[in-house]
Amino acid sequence: MCPIGLLPICKSYKWRLGLLDCKYWHWECRGIHLSKKWSQQTETMDPSTRQYPRAPFATAEAGIFCQEPPRLGNPYLEDVFLQAYLKSYLPPKVFAEIDVDLMRFGARLKNEIDSLGRECELNPPRLQQFDAWGRRVDHIITCAAWKKMKEISAEEGLIAEAYERRYSNWSRVHQVAKLYLYAPSAGLFTCPLAMTDGAAKVIESLGIPRPVREAYANLTSRDPRKFWTSGQWMTERKGGSDVANGTETVARELPNGTHTLHGFKWFTSATDADISLTLARVVSAEGQIEQGSKGLSLFYLETRDKEGKLNGIQIQRLKEKLGTKQVPTAELFLDGARAHQISALGRGVASIANMLTITRIHNAISAVGGMRRMISMAKDYATKRQAFGKPLKEHPLHMQTLARMEVQARGAFLLLMETSRLLGLEDTKMATEQDLHMLRLLTPVAKLYTAKQAIAVISEGLECFGGQGYMEDTGLPAALRDVQVLSIWEGTTNILSLDVLRALIKSQGKALDAFFSSAQAKLDAAISLSELKPSAQAVQSALHKLGQFIQKSGSKADAEMQLAARDLAYTLARTYGGVLLLEYATRPSASATDIVTAQRWCHQELCPIDRGEKAGSYNTEAAFLDLSLVYTGSPVLEAKL
């Protein structure tokens, strides 16, 4: 055993750590080359060379074990849950065509795209602000793999698929399934794709106004020479989700009806995009600027002019981030950027609602896709890694851990696909009123909950590889760094929880009625099956407790309901996840593992809102105690308590 704790290292990496000369050892770390055992190495040092003589068999190889790494196969063929879902829910003819496409795409992911994604991770963007002669150029330099990802996105129709609608309302499901497979290998190119999809949806919802017709065609093109990506520039110095009070950028109208934008955008993702949508306050003819959300309008701008020069934009710096380093994210100074107003005056926030729906669903795609990839790699590794005399897959505790991860991933997958199915109905104007309420409710629920699941599952997944899960050159740690953004981007967990609450209140009870109605309809079949009846009853009990809480909520103050918002959102996610898994387990083609998955999901606490209510967590006293618990003894607020 190595006295300095060096782990066996795979010879294929050709890592040379150098020679270590000492009284006891002489070894070279390529595999591990040992001279003699610790107790046998007793040579004295040659005073002329100040070196110990090498043993006769110093180059003999001993203990050169090389661990076989996990293998990425065809992600589609290895994802039996995805295949079974599509076969069960898509019309047979649609499934037959999509199945062929995803099989082909899975092979491309394995043979081409995954290595490009790794190149994007290893070669992050950089900013060249000046050329050799001192001229300001503000050029974001991205690697060849990042540029290739843009071409692949067009060729594969990763945006176009949702807008061509070859399969009517199922086109969105096809697109989401493809992005779900793509996301873990994409080198974070899913970020510009999310905003591109969001921009296309907004432009379509506005009737494709004349100034953006060409842009819409390019955003939804399959031709790599024409395909455009979009940015989303909403965040300013005052911060994130509160755009109504945080937006300071102003728009000045020109005689030709266009505008120039003036302001500072603090956080712009995929800053190398061809276009962007952004919010600004229009300056009236009298020089007045209206504050609040009513003062915000939506603008479209192209980032560069016909000569390739930046459109009144200065790139101040690229952001240094925990993860997602592959994506160029920048601070921008808008100094007369030419733009077109595409929303009605003061309707900017309302106009981006569709964009938020899309980008939040994309967030869930990355979360669920990331979980699936980590589990897939861990499953493969468990067949190859030997520990204590047998493969990891023969250790019951290890398999229990993987099984728990699998249950979470399957529940998250069904939440994602149900939300996508509803979006497809909305895309094609086939959605009922209940469908629309469910889409509005499930979008923030799925986004916030799958993000939290992904962080936990991927962190657990790294443990499945032991120390190698912590080694950068395996590529595994990047997954954990990148997944952390999912609970922050497009609204933190608390912001999304308040959005769920807002959706319930604004619908005047209709969203909850839709939720209960949908849940009960899907549970009916499970109640009649003996294997699923206890689990279905557990979900029904959770729904009943949720209903009781809602009935009491009418007498609660706004502050009290805000305290309950997070537990409420978790309750909606867990109960509806259980509903979807139970429905899936009642299919004629359901397997024994489908039944076990539903049962195990329903073993968790399904209704945290009930526990919190019984514990008195949502009243004024609890809020005061929360503040005291955090700040008692702190000089920050001690005098105010």
Cα separation, 360 vs 347, whole angstroms: 21
| Contact between 253 and 261 (Cβ < 8 Å) | no
Please tell me the least confidently modeled range out of 60-69, 108-117, 352-361: 60-69
| The pLDDT of residue 13 is above 60 | no
In this predicted model, what pLDDT tens digit does every residue of 564-603 receive, in sequence order? 999 999 999 999 999 999 999 999 999 999 999 999 999 9
| The pLDDT of residue 29 is above 80 | no
What percentage of residues in the chain have a pLDDT greater than 90? 83
State which amino acid sits at residue 609.
I
Q: What's the CA angle centered on 364, arms 361 and 368, to 5 degrees?
A: 145
pLDDT at res. 57: 52
Phi, psi angle pair for 28, to nearest 5°: -120, 130
pLDDT at res. 584: 98
Please tell me the least confidently modeled range out of 24-38, 221-235, 345-359, 543-557: 24-38
3-state secondary structure of 189: coil
pLDDT tier, 48 (very low <50, low <70, confident <90, very high otherwise):
low
pLDDT at res. 243: 84
pLDDT at res. 9: 39
pLDDT tier, 140 (very low <50, low <70, confident <90, very high otherwise):
very high
| Contact between 59 and 69 (Cβ < 8 Å) | no
Phi, psi angle pair for 140, to nearest 5°: -85, 120
pLDDT at res. 167: 98
Question: pTM, whole model, 2 decimals?
Answer: 0.89
In this predicted model, what pLDDT tens digit does every residue of 385-399 receive, in sequence order? 999 999 999 999 999
| Contact between 231 and 197 (Cβ < 8 Å) | no
Mean pLDDT computed over 373-395: 97
Mean pLDDT computed over 342-368: 96
pLDDT at res. 379: 98
| The pLDDT of residue 38 is above 50 | no
Beta strands at 275-282 and 230-235: parallel, antiparallel or unpaired = parallel
Q: Residue written as tokens 């949702």?
A: 162
Cα separation, 179 vs 190, whole angstroms: 8
In this predicted model, what pLDDT tens digit does every residue of 390-429 receive, in sequence order? 999 999 999 999 999 999 999 999 999 999 999 999 999 9
In this predicted model, what pLDDT tens digit does every residue of 201-236 receive, in sequence order? 999 999 999 999 999 999 999 999 999 999 999 999
3-state secondary structure of 27: strand
In this predicted model, what pLDDT tens digit does every residue of 597-631 receive, in sequence order? 999 999 999 999 999 999 999 999 999 999 999 99
Q: Name which of 453, 142, 531, 464 is nearest 318 in CA terms.
A: 142
In this predicted model, what pLDDT tens digit does every residue of 95-116 receive, in sequence order? 999 999 999 999 999 999 999 9
pLDDT at res. 37: 42
Cα separation, 605 vs 539, whole angstroms: 10
Please tell me the least confidently modeled range out of 96-100, 205-209, 244-248, 296-300: 244-248
| The pLDDT of residue 328 is above 50 | yes
Please tell me the least confidently modeled range out of 38-47, 60-69, 588-597: 38-47
Cα separation, 282 vs 339, whole angstroms: 12
Cα separation, 227 vs 199, whole angstroms: 13
| Contact between 216 and 204 (Cβ < 8 Å) | yes
Look over the chain and give the mean of its residue pLDDT values, rounded to a whole number: 91
pLDDT at res. 47: 67
Cα separation, 123 vs 290, whole angstroms: 44
Which of the 8 DSSP states describes residue 1? -
Cα separation, 489 vs 235, whole angstroms: 11
**Other CB atoms within 10 Å distance of the CB of residue 393:** 16
Q: Name residues whose C-beta falls within 8 Å of residue 621's C-beta, 6 or more positions apart in sequence.
A: none
Burial class (CB in 10 A: 0-12, 13-18, 19+), 123: middle
User: Which spans in 484-607 are helix H?
Assistant: 493-506, 510-527, 533-553, 558-585, 592-601
More confident residue, 523 or 52: 523
| The pLDDT of residue 22 is above 80 | no
